[in-house]
Chains A and B, each alone.
Chain A
Amino acid sequence: MKPVDFSYLNAMNLEQAENALAGQSCSIVSGNQSLGPMMNLRLARPGVLLDVSRVEELRRAEETDTEVRFGAAVTHAEIEDGTVPDPTGGWMRAAASNIAHRAVRNRGTIGGSLCHADPAADWVTVLPALSAQISIAGPDGVRKVDAIDFVVGPYATVLAPGEIVVSVAVPKPSAAARWGYWKFVRQVGEFSKASAAILDDPDTGRSRVIVGALGRQPLLIDKPDDVIAGRIDGKAALSHALPDMPACAVRMHAVAIDRAIEQMAGSPE
Chain B
Amino acid sequence: MQTDVEFLLNGKKVTGAAEPRTHLADFIREDALASGTHIGCEQGVCGACTVFVDGRPTRSCITLAAACNGADIRTVEGFDTDPLMEAIRDSFKRHHGLQCGFCTPGMLTTAYDIIRRIPDADRETIRKELSGNLCRCTGYAGIVDAIEDVLKEAPAAALQPTERPRSAISATSAAPKAAEISDSKQAPSPETVIVADMALPAADSFETATVLRKTMHLSAGPEEAWRLISSPEAIVSCIPGATLSGPVTNGIANGACNVSAGPIKAQFRGTASITYLPETKSGQLLGRGKDGLSRSGLEGRLDFQLVPNDNASDINLEMRYRLNGPLSQFGRPALVEEIANGLLADIAQAIDATLSGNDATAGRTQPQRSLSGFRLLFNAFKGLIRRTLSTR
Size of interface on B: residues with Cβ below 8 Å to A: 76
Any B CB within 8 A of the CB of A220: no
User: Once the chains are docked, how many angstroms separate the CA of A191 from the CA of B44?
Assistant: 14
Say yes or no: is A267 at the interface (Cβ < 8 Å to chain B). Answer: no
9 A–B pairs (Cβ distance < 8 Å), ordered by A = A12-B169, A23-B178, A24-B181, A32-B62, A38-B264, A54-B166, A101-B132, A117-B262, A154-B339
Complex contact B294–A10 (CB within 8 A): no
In the complex, chain B residues whose CB is within 8 Å of the CB of A9: 175-176, 181, 184
**Smallest CB separation, B74 vs chain A (Å):** 13
Chain A: CB-nearest residue to B214: A244
Tell me whether A12 and B338 are in contact (CB under 8 A): no
A12 contacts B174, C-beta separation under 8 Å: yes
The 7 A-B pairs of least Cβ separation, nearest first, read A155-B262, A101-B132, A215-B334, A156-B373, A47-B187, A36-B62, A23-B181
* B210: min CB distance to chain A, Å: 12
Residues of chain A lying within 8 A (CB to CB) of residue B57: 102-103, 106
**Is B266 an interface residue when CB atoms closer than 8 A count as contact?**
yes
Say whether A107 contacts B59, CB under 8 Å.
Answer: yes
A51 within 8 Å of B by Cβ? yes
Which chain B residues (293-328) contact chain A, with CB distance < 8 Å? 293-296, 326-327
Q: How far is the CA of A33 from the CA of B61 in the complex (A)?
A: 10
Indicate if the CB atoms of B185 and A153 lie closer than 8 Å: no
Taking a contact as CB atoms under 8 Å apart, the answer to whether B293 and A42 are in contact is yes
Contact A119 B338 (CB under 8 A): yes
Q: How far is the CA of A5 from the CA of B166 in the complex (A)?
A: 27
**A33 vs B294: C-alpha distance when bound (angstroms):** 18
A177 in the interface (beta carbon within 8 A): no
Interface residues of B in 56-75 (CB under 8 A from A): 56-59, 61-64, 66-67, 69
**B59 near A41: Cβ-Cβ < 8 Å:** no
Measured CB to CB, the closest approach of chain B to A100, in angstroms, equals 7
B264 touching A44, Cβ below 8 Å: yes
User: Does any Cβ of A come within 8 Å of B1's Cβ?
Assistant: yes
Task: Name which residue of chain A comes closest to B61, CB basis.
Answer: A40
Complex interface: chain A residues within 8 A of B188 (CB): 4-5, 45, 47
Instruction: Provide the residues of chain B in CB contact with A5, threshold 8 Å.
Output: 1, 19-21, 185, 188
What is the distance, in angstroms, from A13's C-beta to the closest C-beta of chain B?
A: 8
Instruction: List residues of chain B with CB within 8 A of the CB of A191.
Output: 332
Q: Does A58 contact B (CB under 8 A)?
A: no
**A42-B294, A154-B339 known, 14 other contacts, Cβ within 8 Å:** A2-B21, A6-B21, A16-B174, A35-B263, A36-B43, A38-B263, A38-B330, A43-B266, A43-B291, A51-B64, A103-B47, A154-B335, A215-B337, A249-B334
The answer to whether B21 touches A4, judged by C-beta atoms less than 8 angstroms apart, is: yes
Q: How far is the CB of A171 from chain B (nearest CB, A)?
A: 27
Question: In the complex, which residues 223-279 of chain B have their Cβ closer than 8 Å to any Cβ of chain A?
Answer: 261-266
Given A6-B185, A107-B58: A154 and B261 interface contact (C-beta under 8 Å): yes
